[in-house]
């Protein structure tokens, strides 16, 4: 089975974002002869306008497309060669060296698609959007207006300049009147939200969705804006035990506890930390926190220490076995290297209120120091390959976070560095599989077991948590840690047979489609028929 095995309808349920995913969606449309093909192809090209593959597909489907015609002739081999040189220079000389290489390339070939594509990726991955904005001013005048506007709009958002982003996206949309391109409208809408203009954003997204009703991501974002879900924060109906296990991360643990204890915890909530055999300053850090917070009949803060590191799944199970947990309605597992926003528990409470029957709730996780890079979002099961029976969606890894994952909905799995459970569900469903020791994939394996039994996870994309270490697989780990991650991934794939994988995917497609249908109906009620709206004037 490969990615082409998904139908267009199935593929769009994962979300309509990510350059590679949108390209697969466009190809599925083309293979099926779907009426959405031109719009999906434009969206794929818009998400990756410097890609010869996307531009060529668009030029084939829509010969009048200026973007497709402009870049369809780009040479794939040349783009790959330049990308390789940029990566090698980045590894050897750092971001400054890679930026100098691209400056030199564009000095001789202004507007070159391959060089601008490499500059875009370098800018968001390495955290240099201001440089990319300057580069486009110096060397980007030859780019088509829609492409230049998307490039600059994205970089302006990443640089924290929503007014500049609004202007750039507006120019790009004006260059293609009447299309209300979903990608550009999502970007412009995000800029409007950051400028405190939600009504204009709502009108813009409603118009775009009316023209592109297939766009699941646009529907999800519009729903949460129109219903107030975007701002929702609710206390949980019962006390929460915040559970952390830690190993040799004293400084990061201290920062995590600073953010946790400064957040909106309830009077009956508690923080429980397991020192998993640390050999650094962790015992001193925890002793200082115990002295700082004090003790009472139900400790707001308590610690335990093991003589050795038993690994993540065993540490989780050890914490779950504590008799102290009997008085708590919820348990939140938190990594020792995250920084929590003050309203994190209230945001998860809103997700519980919206989806009370879910068995686990999680959030969006970003790279600490560069929140444009996401580590995890709403994870769904995707088709596998000849080597693997299934895959986990990586849409969130295919581009910078520009707000496109800011929604709340069910999914197959959420990341384990900040997730919430009902303690009664944990007692019934069981703990974490110690075969995934010392770490990696134990949380995903448990979520998939729940999915197989008819349960679902819920993703709260309106909560973003910075996380120091890469999560969700082998990225950012090396040597023995990488080998362990690879071994655990093989174990994960071996847990489920073909029939079980088919059942999990069918279950997933069912609740994703049901959620979208319910939200579309709700939007029709709120917006008096979103699919039939007249054009709404937006001051760009």
List pLDDT tens digits, range 259-316.
999 999 999 999 999 999 999 999 999 999 998 887 654 458 999 999 999 989 999 9
Q: Total domain count for the chain?
A: 1
Residue 377 domain flag:
yes
Preceding peptide of 438 cis, ω within 30°: yes
- Determine the Cα–Cα distance for residues 18 and 461; give it in Å rounded to an integer: 16
Q: Domain containing 478: what range? A: 240-504
Residue 226 domain flag:
no
Instruction: Give the helix, strand, coil percentages of the chain, each rounded to 5.
Output: 55, 15, 30
Here the contacts of 494-498 (C-beta below 8 Å, separation 24 or greater) are 495/445, 495/448, 496/389, 496/390, 496/448, 496/452, 498/389
Residue 97 domain flag:
no
Residue 303 domain flag:
yes
Dig out the tokens for 213 from the structure. Answer: 């009703």
Q: Give the dihedral of Cα atoms 261, 264, 267, 270; nearest 10 deg.
A: -40
Residue 367 domain flag:
yes
pLDDT score for 538: 42
- Determine the Cα–Cα distance for residues 147 and 55; give it in Å rounded to an integer: 11
- Determine the Cα–Cα distance for residues 312 and 276; give it in Å rounded to an integer: 9
Residue 90 domain flag:
no
Start-to-end C-alpha separation, the chain:
45
Please list the residues that pair with 338 across neighbouring strands.
467
Three-state secondary structure along 464-510? Answer: EEEECCCCCCCCCCCHHHHHHHHHHHHHHHHCCCHHHHHHHHHHHHH
Q: CA nearest 150: which of 182, 195, 194, 125? A: 182
> What element of type H or E holds 317?
helix 312-320
pLDDT score for 536: 41
Residue 515 domain flag:
no
Whether residue 151 contacts residue 136, with contact meaning beta carbons closer than 8 Å, is answered with: yes
pLDDT tens, the chain, 540 aa long: 344 479 999 999 999 999 999 999 999 999 999 999 999 999 999 899 888 888 888 878 877 665 544 555 556 677 788 989 999 999 999 999 999 999 999 999 998 889 999 999 999 999 999 999 999 999 999 898 999 999 999 999 999 999 999 999 999 999 988 889 999 999 999 999 999 999 999 999 999 999 999 999 999 999 999 999 999 999 999 999 999 999 999 999 999 999 999 999 999 999 999 999 999 999 999 999 998 887 654 458 999 999 999 989 999 999 999 998 999 999 999 999 999 999 999 999 999 999 999 999 999 999 999 999 999 999 999 988 767 888 899 999 999 999 999 999 999 999 989 999 999 999 998 888 687 667 677 888 899 999 999 999 999 999 999 999 755 444 455 566 666 677 777 777 768 888 999 999 999 999 999 999 999 999 999 987 544 444 444 444
List pLDDT tens digits, range 367-382.
999 999 999 999 999 9
pLDDT score for 295: 64
pLDDT score for 385: 73
- Determine the Cα–Cα distance for residues 156 and 140; give it in Å rounded to an integer: 15
Residue 484 domain flag:
yes
Q: What is the largest CA-CA distance in the chain?
A: 73
- Determine the Cα–Cα distance for residues 283 and 235; give it in Å rounded to an integer: 32
pLDDT score for 75: 62
CATH of the domain at 363: 3.90.550.10
């Amino acid at each position: 089975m490969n990615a082409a095995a998904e139908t267009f309808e199935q593929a769009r349920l994962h979300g309509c974002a990510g350059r590679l995913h949108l390209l697969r969606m466009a190809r599925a449309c083309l293979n099926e002869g779907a009426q959405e093909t031109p719009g999906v192809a434009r969206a794929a090209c818009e998400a990756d306008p410097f890609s010869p593959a996307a531009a060529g597909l668009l030029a084939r489907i829509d010969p009048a497309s200026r973007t497709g015609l402009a870049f369809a002739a780009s040479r794939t081999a040349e783009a790959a060669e330049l990308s390789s040189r940029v990566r090698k220079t980045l590894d050897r000389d750092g971001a400054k060296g890679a930026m100098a290489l691209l400056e030199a390339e564009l000095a001789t070939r202004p507007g070159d698609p391959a060089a601008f594509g490499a500059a875009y990726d370098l800018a968001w991955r390495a955290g240099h959007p201001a440089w990319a904005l300057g580069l486009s001013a110096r060397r980007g005048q030859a780019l088509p207006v829609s492409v230049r506007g998307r490039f600059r709009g994205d970089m302006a958002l990443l640089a924290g300049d929503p007014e500049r982003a609004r202007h750039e996206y507006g120019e790009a949309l004006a260059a293609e009147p009447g299309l209300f391109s979903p990608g550009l409208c999502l970007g412009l809408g995000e800029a409007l939200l950051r400028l405190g203009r939600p009504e204009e954003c709502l009108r813009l997204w409603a118009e775009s969705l009316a023209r592109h009703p297939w766009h699941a991501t646009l529907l999800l974002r519009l729903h949460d804006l129109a219903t107030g879900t975007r701002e929702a924060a609710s206390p949980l109906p019962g006390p929460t035990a915040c559970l952390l296990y830690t190993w040799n991360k004293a400084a990061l643990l201290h920062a995590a506890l600073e953010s946790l204890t400064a957040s909106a915890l309830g009077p009956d909530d508690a923080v429980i930390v397991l020192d998993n055999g640390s050999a650094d300053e962790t015992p001193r850090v925890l002793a200082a926190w115990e002295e700082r917070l004090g003790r009472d009949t139900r400790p707001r803060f308590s610690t335990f220490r093991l003589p050795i590191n038993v690994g993540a799944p065993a540490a989780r199970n050890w914490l779950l076995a504590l008799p102290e947990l009997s008085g708590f309605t919820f348990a939140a597992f938190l990594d020792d290297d995250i920084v929590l926003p003050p309203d994190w528990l209230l945001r998860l409470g809103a997700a519980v209120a919206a989806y009370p029957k879910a068995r686990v709730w999680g959030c969006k996780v970003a790279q600490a120091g560069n929140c444009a890079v996401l580590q995890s979002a709403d994870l769904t099961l995707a088709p596998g390959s000849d080597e693997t029976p299934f895959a986990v969606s990586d849409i969130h890894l295919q581009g910078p976070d520009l707000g496109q994952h800011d929604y709340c909905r069910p999914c197959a799995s959420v990341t384990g560095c900040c997730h919430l459970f009902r303690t009664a569900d944990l007692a019934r469903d069981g703990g974490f599989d110690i075969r995934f020791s010392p770490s990696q994939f134990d949380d995903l394996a448990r979520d998939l077991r729940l999915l197989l039994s008819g349960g679902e996870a819920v993703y709260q994309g309106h909560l973003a948590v910075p996380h120091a270490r890469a999560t969700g697989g082998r990225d950012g780990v090396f040597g023995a840690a990488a080998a362990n991650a690879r071994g655990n991934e093989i174990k994960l794939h071996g847990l489920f047979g073909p029939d079980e994988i088919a059942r999990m995917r069918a279950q997933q497609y069912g609740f994703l489609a049901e959620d979208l249908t319910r939200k579309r109906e709700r939007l029709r009620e709120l917006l008096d028929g979103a699919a039939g709206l007249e054009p709404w004037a937006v001051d760009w």
